[in-house]
Amino acid sequence: MNKVLEMRGIIKQFPRVLANDQIDFDLNYGEIHALVGENGSGKSTLMNILYGLYQSDGGEILVRGNPVQITEPRVAIDLKIGMVFQHFMLVEPLTVAENIVLGSELRKGPFLDYKQAVADVERLSKEYGLKIDPHAKISDLSVGLQQRVEILKALYRGAEILILDEPTAVLTPQEVDDLIEVLKTLRAKGTSIVFITHKIREVLAVSDRVTVLRRGKKVGTKATKDTNEQDLAEMMVGRVVLLRVNKEPAQPGSDVLEVKNLSVKDPFGNLRVNGVDLTVRSGEVLGIAGVEGNGQSELVEAIAGLQRAEQGTISLNGVDITNWSPLKIREAGFGLVPEDRHRRGLVLDYSVADNLILGLHGKTPFVHHVGLRHEAAIQANAEHLVEEYDIRPSLPHQLAKRLSGGNQQKVVVAREFTQNPKLLICAQPTRGVDIGAIEFIHQQVIKQRDQGAAVLLVSAELDEVLSLSDRVAVMYNGKIVSIMSAEEVTEHKLGYLMLGGRLEDYQGEGGNGHEN
């Protein structure tokens, strides 16, 4: 018996969907098993069942050969199963050591035995080669280090089976490299790891085996060495997928967006954008790479008129639009795919049809001159766009909140793109969107570019920036630190710049030992 875990015929029925349809999954001792699939394919559900957060409606679970009933996370922890969630569950004002022992802390009388906690963390940290300062406050740590704390927390509780739910979604490329090293170390120490992701390249870099789910069903399990990128993408999506965007070289025209010395403050008075200069020409895609929170959001919002520019100017086709109202900026030929579609891009309780006119709702043909809605035009517009952008289900009166993330994003994209704006900003256009929809959205972005739009792309996904952009800028700490043409860029160079490195000091790849 070399299986530490076996899940057989797991079924989970949610009110509207069969999330897991007779899924088999197993894990060998000391292996990294990648669990992949698009959003909504049921991978998180399956692991939440294993961790006791959901109860399955059928099937059985064997841990170390024994059938078990995992009714709650406590049971899972007792079975030496640990889980690291996408959203960390750390107490920010507390120290690393305090967080790690939290819930199973040793006491000295009524007090926490802090010295012992620190000693335990140091021992664990040494044993697994996970460097961390036990006295550091969580709020002072980078996301990558916070994740390391989560892993240590699971190990402290004796986890031999470690589940990582999309661990790389929040990391920079360098941090991803570090995590992969950590996982390999853990594997060498005998920990069995389930690695949930939808990024194929990580699967290939780290896993021993890979299981693909699609729409709640298991597509198959393969040894990683027997598969490749294209093969996995097809298994995930169920059809042949274009992994690279097909595009011609850009034919840039005149300057459309000109940002000069722009500074933006957040509501608390902190300077988030600090003297940015930027130009985007018609017919090109300028990509902005950067770790989130370095001022990209504020830059975009200021251009859109949604946040005040403290200083500097923004002009669109030579017209100064600085601090205009969002409506006037739109009418000047501006479209925006906002980074957070739930916060900005959609009224979730509105129908698809009504969402498809947000921002255009006051214009002909959607309104008669007395201010009455033109229902027929709204309906016709929706039917047309639902078809053209393949929004599913193709029901214009469906509420937007009933759509999957990918289809919600298509609603936003359809609305913004069909106006053929002169300036189009796409902020995180494929966040939380599955591969099939990503492919489609990328093609649409290039189509807009080829029709002469100036496209500003802001994305935390380096792949996306690299495959779409004609020029790439890196934003760090409120400033544009570098603008390069697409040919000069490598992922590694970008990662270096994104973390605040200077181009002059860049040593090239291989400097820190892990490239792929």
Q: Which of 441, 461, 438 is nearest to 449 (CA)?
A: 441
Per CB under 8 A, the list member of 40, 216, 295, 345 interacting with another protein is 345
Classify residue 367 by its DSSP letter: B
The nearer residue to another protein, 325 or 420, going by C-beta atoms, is 325
Per CB under 8 A, the list member of 106, 242, 327, 503 interacting with another protein is 327
The interface mask with another protein, positions 4-43, x = CB under 8 A, is -----------xx---------------------------
367 touches another protein (CB under 8 A): yes
* 8 Å CB contact between 427 and 344: no
Least spacing, CB of residue 353 vs another protein, in Å: 8
Sign of CA dihedral 177, 183, 184, 189: positive
Per CB under 8 A, the list member of 98, 120, 354, 434 interacting with another protein is 354
Classify residue 399 by its DSSP letter: B
Classify residue 95 by its DSSP letter: B
269 touches another protein (CB under 8 A): no
326 touches another protein (CB under 8 A): yes
The nearer residue to another protein, 192 or 351, going by C-beta atoms, is 351
Q: How far apart are CA 350 and CA 458, in angstroms?
A: 27
Sign of CA dihedral 204, 206, 207, 208: positive
- Give the number of residues in contact with another protein, rule: CB under 8 A: 34
Tokens representing residue 223 in the block: 């040894």
The DSSP bridge partners found for residue 206 are none
358 touches another protein (CB under 8 A): yes
Classify residue 224 by its DSSP letter: G
The nearer residue to another protein, 188 or 347, going by C-beta atoms, is 347
> Which of the ranges 59-67, 319-327, 449-457, 497-505 carries the binding residues for another protein, by CB under 8 A?
319-327
347 touches another protein (CB under 8 A): yes
- The b/e string for 401-432 (b: 16+ C-beta within 10 A; e otherwise) is eebbbbbbbbbbbbbbbbeebbbbbbbbbbbb
The nearer residue to another protein, 393 or 508, going by C-beta atoms, is 393
According to DSSP, the β-strands at 309-316 and 319-320 are antiparallel
The interface mask with another protein, positions 75-104, x = CB under 8 A, is ------------------------------
Side-by-side strand order, sheet with 32-36: 81-84, 161-165, 192-197, 32-36, 209-214, 217-223
* 8 Å CB contact between 93 and 163: no
Tokens representing residue 66 in the block: 């024994």
The DSSP bridge partners found for residue 425 are 336, 456
Tokens representing residue 228 in the block: 């490749």
Least spacing, CB of residue 441 vs another protein, in Å: 19
Q: Which of residues 276-315 bind another protein (CB under 8 A)?
A: 304, 306
Q: Which of residues 383-422 bind another protein (CB under 8 A)?
A: 397, 399, 401-402
* 8 Å CB contact between 456 and 280: yes
> Which of the ranges 75-83, 131-139, 187-195, 360-368 carries the binding residues for another protein, by CB under 8 A?
360-368
The nearer residue to another protein, 75 or 377, going by C-beta atoms, is 377
The nearer residue to another protein, 96 or 357, going by C-beta atoms, is 357
Least spacing, CB of residue 327 vs another protein, in Å: 3
Tokens representing residue 108 in the block: 């000295």
361 touches another protein (CB under 8 A): yes
Least spacing, CB of residue 302 vs another protein, in Å: 13
Would residue 369 be called left, alpha or beta, if left means φ above 0 and alpha means ψ between -120 and 50 degrees?
alpha
- DSSP labels, 87-116: S----TTSBHHHHHHTTS--EETTEE-HHH
Per CB under 8 A, the list member of 343, 487, 505, 510 interacting with another protein is 343
Least spacing, CB of residue 345 vs another protein, in Å: 6
233 touches another protein (CB under 8 A): no
Per CB under 8 A, the list member of 362, 365, 393, 508 interacting with another protein is 362
User: Can you give the binding site for another protein, defined by CB under 8 A?
Assistant: 15-16, 304, 306, 325-327, 330, 336, 338, 343-351, 353-354, 358-359, 361-362, 367, 371-373, 375, 397, 399, 401-402
